[in-house]
Amino acid sequence: MEEQRKQGLLSVVLPAYNEEGSVPLAAETLCRLLSHAGIRHELIFVDDGSRDRTWAAVQAQAARRPQVRGIRFSRNFGKEAAIFAGLAQAAGDCAAVMDCDLQHPPEKVVDMYRLWQTGYQVIEGVKTSRGKESPLHTLAARSFYAILSRAAGVDMSRASDFKLLDRRAVDVLLAMREKNAFFRALSSWIGFSSTQVEFEVQPRQEGESKWSVRSLVRYALTNIASFSAAPLQLVTLLGAAVFLSSVGLGIHSLWKKLTGQALEGFTTVILLQLLIGSVLMICLGIIGYYIAKIYEEIKDRPRYIVADRCEGQAHEEHSEKDP
């Protein structure tokens, strides 16, 4: 075990969506860095249905470097799917996941690998700061992580997708059958001996962020639903609250009726109708959302569809040290 860890092969999984500029940069930086550190490695680029020339860039890298491989999705399936596809391809004794825009500092992969060598099985990258964002974005992110931290039972406020996992942890994750797997939380949820490495989110090297406000909201809702049934309990809570106030109002109305001052409560009736109607509809919506999720899972469709693959080609002139 110890011996195997000392020389273990490291797979680096890099999801890429419209990253034609970042792919060569990431491949170059990582190969240089890891070769220099004497770590045996392979890079797995997952082209998540990009619309630009990302796949051509991945193929070009694979043609130049024996340790680069690529898979391409038939369409955009999202970052989570890309991460799981990459992990499924990983042949390493451990696998790192990082953004291919180099916002996760590549040097930290070496630190993570060293920690893995000492015996840790899950090494999580945690953010020291969240990089540059608008205040609204920060607030939204904060509430999202507050809900998820409670649901997952681990502090997620600084969590990221930047991680290094031992083979065993990778296999456990791959064996999970849920379609809406949320990598960031699941990799903490599985346990194992874990530790953290702090990193500072770097400014983007190339291109721009692929997240629109809409996709972020959808991402937040999906992941909360996949990790927590709390919104369903909220329905019960709302029901209880409305019930209690209706008991109060009932007593009040009865009192008025008995003392002969009824009739004037017309506004109250309208307000109550509106309130109860909207609460009911919100609750139905929440329940419907979960039913939709169950429906999605039960259809058992694949998480992603691979359209193409490429393998690293050994090149006589190029040694690993001199790409």
Quickly tell me which residue has 């809570």 as its tokens: 237
Ranges within 19-58 binding ligand UDP (CB under 6 A): 19, 48
Note whether 86 binds ligand UDP by CB under 6 A: no
Note whether 72 binds ligand UDP by CB under 6 A: no
- Secondary structure element (H or E) that encloses residue 200, with its range: none
Q: Which of 8, 12, 13, 17 binds ligand UDP (CB under 6 A)?
A: 17
Query: How crowded is the C-beta side of 286, counted as CA atoms within 13 Å?
Result: 18
Note whether 15 binds ligand UDP by CB under 6 A: yes
Residues 6 or more apart from 254 whose CB is under 8 A from it? none
Q: C-beta of 141: minimal distance to ligand UDP in Å?
A: 10
Q: C-beta of 92: minimal distance to Mg ion in Å?
A: 23
In terms of CB distance, is 83 or 197 closer to ligand UDP? Answer: 83
- Amino acid 269 reads V
In terms of CB distance, is 135 or 203 closer to Mg ion? Answer: 203
Q: Which of 79, 167, 179, 184 binds ligand UDP (CB under 6 A)?
A: 79
Note whether 129 binds ligand UDP by CB under 6 A: no
Quickly tell me which residue has 């909201």 as its tokens: 217
Q: Which of 67, 103, 160, 226 binds Mg ion (CB under 5 A)?
A: 103
Q: What are phi and psi of 257, to 5 degrees?
A: -60, -45
Sequence-distant contacts of 106-111: CB under 8 A, at least 24 apart: 106/26, 106/29, 106/30, 106/33, 107/33, 108/162, 108/197, 108/199, 109/10, 109/12, 109/30, 109/33, 109/34, 109/164, 110/33, 110/34, 110/37, 110/39, 111/197
111, 184 in Cβ contact below 8 A?
no
Angstrom distance (rounded) from CA 153 to CA 225: 15
In terms of CB distance, is 120 or 162 closer to Mg ion? Answer: 162
- What is the size of the binding site for Mg ion (CB under 5 A)? 3
The stretch among 10-18, 71-79, 94-102, 264-272 that binds Mg ion (CB under 5 A) is 94-102
In terms of CB distance, is 76 or 253 closer to ligand UDP? Answer: 76
- Amino acid 206 reads E
The stretch among 69-77, 91-99, 235-243, 303-311 that binds Mg ion (CB under 5 A) is 91-99
Q: C-beta of 218: minimal distance to ligand UDP in Å?
A: 11
Residues 6 or more apart from 176 whose CB is under 8 A from it? 186
Q: Where are the alpha helices (H) located in 153-306, listed in sequence order? A: 167-175, 183-189, 213-227, 230-258, 266-299
Note whether 211 binds ligand UDP by CB under 6 A: yes
Q: C-beta of 219: minimal distance to ligand UDP in Å?
A: 9
Burial class of residue 3 in the structure, from the number of CB atoms within 10 Å of its CB (0-12 exposed, 13-18 middle, 19+ buried): exposed
Angstrom distance (rounded) from CA 87 to CA 139: 32
Q: C-beta of 46: minimal distance to ligand UDP in Å?
A: 7
Note whether 102 binds ligand UDP by CB under 6 A: no
Q: C-beta of 209: minimal distance to ligand UDP in Å?
A: 3
The residues that touch ligand UDP, with contacts defined as CB under 6 A, are 15-17, 19, 48, 76, 78-79, 82, 99-101, 103, 209-211
**Interacting residues with Mg ion (CB under 5 A):** 99, 101, 103
